[in-house]
Amino acid sequence: MLKRLSVFVVTLVAGAVALGGEVMADKYLATPWQMGFQEPRSPSAEQIFAFHDLLLYIEVAIVLFVLAIMAYIIVKFNSKANPVPSKNTHNTLLEVVWTVVPILILVVIAVPSLKLLYFTDRTENPELTIKVTGNQWYWTYEYPDNNAIEFDSIIVADDELEEGQPRMLTVDNALVLPVNTNIRILLATNDVIHNFAMPSLGLKLDTTPGRANETWVSINDEGTYYGMCSELCGVSHGFMPVQIEAVSKEAFNEWLVGAEEEFGSNDSFTDEVVKFASAISQ
C-alpha cells in the first residue's frame, strides 16, 4: 500500500508539472489531488466561486470557534482541574445572543445567495439556442436554429483513447459552442432522469421527463470542457460524459457549415416549412 501511495505522490508531482505546461492549458477538468473547485470559466461559475469563498470564510470561522471552545473546556473543566462543577444552567442574555447572531449571519449569506440564484437561472437575450437530450447512456445535441443539426455524443472506450484524451470523459462528438455568447440550453430526456453538468462552467440541471428545463451559459475561454452525468440513470450512469469544445465565433460559424452538411436535416420539406413559418412570423 505504501508503494501505491508513493505512486500517487509521483502522479501529484507529474500533474503539477503538466499543469504548468502548454498541453493542459486548454483542457478544463479536475487535476490530481485537487482540493477546490475547477477554475471558473463562465459568469455563473465565477459568481458561484466568489459566493463559496464567502461561505467558506464564515464556516471555517464557525468550526474554529467551536473547536476553540471545546479545547478550552477540555483544559479548564476536566474533573482534575475543576473538581466541583458549577450549577449554572441559565443565562438569558447568552441564549438570546446565540440565537440572534446566527440569524444575522444567515441574512449575510441569504442576500448574495439569492442574487446568485436569480443570476444563474436563465438568460434574457439568448444569441443561440441548443437542445440537450439525455438517453441511456449518451447525450444528443441539437442546434434548432441551424438547419436542425442533431448528433449523438457517446463515450470513447478506454482502449480507443488517443494520446492526451482523458479516460471516462472523452466522447466521439463533442458539443461545439462559441465563446462569449449567451447560449440558452434546453434540456429533455428520452427515458429516465439524467443531469447535464459542467463544473467549470457552473452548469447543472436535470433532464426531467415531460418537461423542457432551461438554463444558460456564456463561455469565457476557448478550450475543451469536461463534465459527467450527475443523476443516477441506470447501469452506465458513470459513462455518459459531457464534453464541450468552446471555439471562437468565427470558428463556430465555420464548424456550422460542415456540421449542417454532416448532421443537418436534409429534409427539404422541413426546410420549406421552416422558411414558411419564419415568413409568417415576420
Partner 1 sequence: MAHDDHKPGFAKRWLMSTNHKDIGTLYIILAIAAAIIGGGMSMFIRLELMEPGTQYIQDFQLYNVLVTAHGFLMVFFVVMPAMIGGFGNWFVPLMIGAPDMAFPRLNNISFWLTAAGLIMLVLAGLTGGGPGTGWTVYPPLASADFHPDAAVDFAILSLHLAGAASILGAANFITTILNMRAPGMTIHRMPLFVWAILVTAVLLLLALPVLAGALTMLLTDRNFGTSFFIVDGGGDPLLWQHLFWFFGHPEVYIIILPAFGIISQIVSTFSKKPVFGYLGMAYAMCAIGVVGFVVWAHHMYMTGLDVDTRAYFTAATLVIAVPTGVKIFSWLATMWGGSIDFKTPMLYAFGFIWLFVVGGVTGVTLANAGMDTAFHDTYFVVAHFHYVMAIAAIFAMFGGFFYWIGKMCGRQYNEAMGKVQFWIFFIGVNVLFFPQHFSGMAGMPRRIPDYPDAYAGWNYVSSIGALITLVGTILFLWIAYRTVTSGEKADANPWGEGATTLEWTVDSPAPFHTHEIMPDMTGKAPAE
* Min separation Cβ 267 and partner 1, Å: 26
> Scanning residues 241 to 260, which ones bind partner 1 (CB under 8 A)?
none
* Position 237 contacts partner 1 (CB under 8 A): yes
Give the cell for residue 163: 494520446
The three-class DSSP label of residue 281 is helix
Pairing between strand 175-178 and 183-189? unpaired
Give the cell for residue 8: 500517487
Give the cell for residue 154: 457517446
CB closer to partner 1 out of 213 and 265: 213
CB closer to partner 1 out of 79 and 125: 79
| Burial call 126-152: b when 16+ CB within 10 Å, e when fewer | bebbbbbbbbebbbbbbbeebbbbbbe
**At what angle are helices 92-121 and 43-76 packed, to 10 degrees?**
160
From the centroid of its chain, how far is CA 155? 18
Give the cell for residue 60: 471555517
* Min separation Cβ 121 and partner 1, Å: 4
Stretch that binds partner 1, among 174-182, 185-193, 244-252, 271-279 (CB under 8 A): 185-193
Non-local (6+) Cβ contacts of 235 within 8 A are 137
The three-class DSSP label of residue 98 is helix
Pick from 22, 93, 118, 268 the residue near partner 1 by CB under 8 A: 118
Pick from 26, 53, 121, 254 the residue near partner 1 by CB under 8 A: 121
* Min separation Cβ 71 and partner 1, Å: 10
* Min separation Cβ 256 and partner 1, Å: 28
CA distances from 50 to 28, 60, 202 (A): 19, 16, 12
Number of residues that bind partner 1 (CB under 8 A): 102
> Scanning residues 213 to 232, which ones bind partner 1 (CB under 8 A)?
213-214, 226-232
CB closer to partner 1 out of 214 and 222: 214
* Position 169 contacts partner 1 (CB under 8 A): yes
Pick from 10, 17, 30, 273 the residue near partner 1 by CB under 8 A: 30
CB closer to partner 1 out of 36 and 125: 36
Stretch that binds partner 1, among 109-117, 248-256, 257-265, 274-282 (CB under 8 A): 109-117
> Scanning residues 43 to 102, which ones bind partner 1 (CB under 8 A)?
44, 47-48, 51-52, 55, 58-59, 62-63, 66-67, 69-70, 73-74, 77-79, 82-91, 94-95, 98-99, 102
CB closer to partner 1 out of 170 and 173: 170
* Position 11 contacts partner 1 (CB under 8 A): yes
CB closer to partner 1 out of 8 and 276: 8
Q: Is 87 exposed, middle or buried (0-12, 13-18, 19+ CB in 10 A)?
A: exposed
Non-local (6+) Cβ contacts of 169 within 8 A are 29, 226, 227, 228, 241, 243
